Amino acid sequence: MTEPRFDLNANALGAKLGKRFQSVSVALMQSQALPKTLTELVELRASQINGCGYCTDAHAKDLAAAGESATRINLVAVWRETTVFTEAERAALAFAEEGTRLADTATGVSDETWAQVRAHFDDDQIAALIYVISCINAANRMLVITKTKGGSYVPGTFESIAAAAR
């Protein structure tokens, strides 16, 4: 296994920028606009698409620690072919996929998906979803670029960091 290329947190500027970046996640957690499970499902799906081992590991473990079933966690990657997600979760997962795969279509998020999101979420929840999708994609890119591997994440780490930042 290759070692990570670069530890952003060991670099003074990287650590400073990381704290600023992390403050968005803290604000999202504190807002409680979205259920934790929904946020984690969205983050897991984007991380799977982006091939981010660290974030896929983290969000799968945090879902399990929050009591989510192995069936639902394991089926996130194929959510369209399942019966285990609510209509609201399906709308959020479609939104996450289309918001992650912007280069795959000329339209970005489709009008159909946007209508589904509007049908299930209020304005604060939509704002939160947009930020969750944007932030997880940025985090995925940082960790894929640095070749940060999955497998070592301890469930609850993100919540502990958020609690310390309050």
* Separation CA 164–CA 144 (nearest Å): 26
pLDDT band for 78, please (50, 70, 90 cuts): very high
In a domain, 160, yes or no: no
- Mean pLDDT computed over every residue of the chain: 94
The pLDDT value given to residue 3: 83
What is the domain-level CATH number for residue 115? Answer: 1.20.1290.10
* Separation CA 59–CA 61 (nearest Å): 5
In a domain, 161, yes or no: no
Nearest to 38, CA basis, from 70, 71, 72: 72
Indicate if the pLDDT at residue 95 is higher than 70: yes
In a domain, 21, yes or no: no
In a domain, 27, yes or no: no
The pLDDT value given to residue 159: 84
For residue 40, what are its two tokens?
Answer: 């984690």
Indicate if the pLDDT at residue 39 is higher than 80: yes
The 10 Å CB-count burial string (b at 16+, else e) for 137-149 is bebbebbbeeebe
Q: Which residue has the higher pLDDT, 52 or 105?
A: 52
In a domain, 48, yes or no: yes
CA 126 to chain centre: 15
Indicate if the pLDDT at residue 1 is higher than 70: no
Give the residue numbers spanning the domain of 96: 33-155
- For 3-12, the pLDDT digits (tens) are 889 999 999 9
Indicate if the pLDDT at residue 160 is higher than 90: no
Do the beta carbons of residue 36 and residue 66 sit within 8 Å?
A: yes
The pLDDT value given to residue 166: 66
In a domain, 164, yes or no: no
For residue 117, what are its two tokens?
Answer: 């999101």
**How many domains is the chain built from?**
1
Nearest to 98, CA basis, from 113, 120, 82, 116: 113
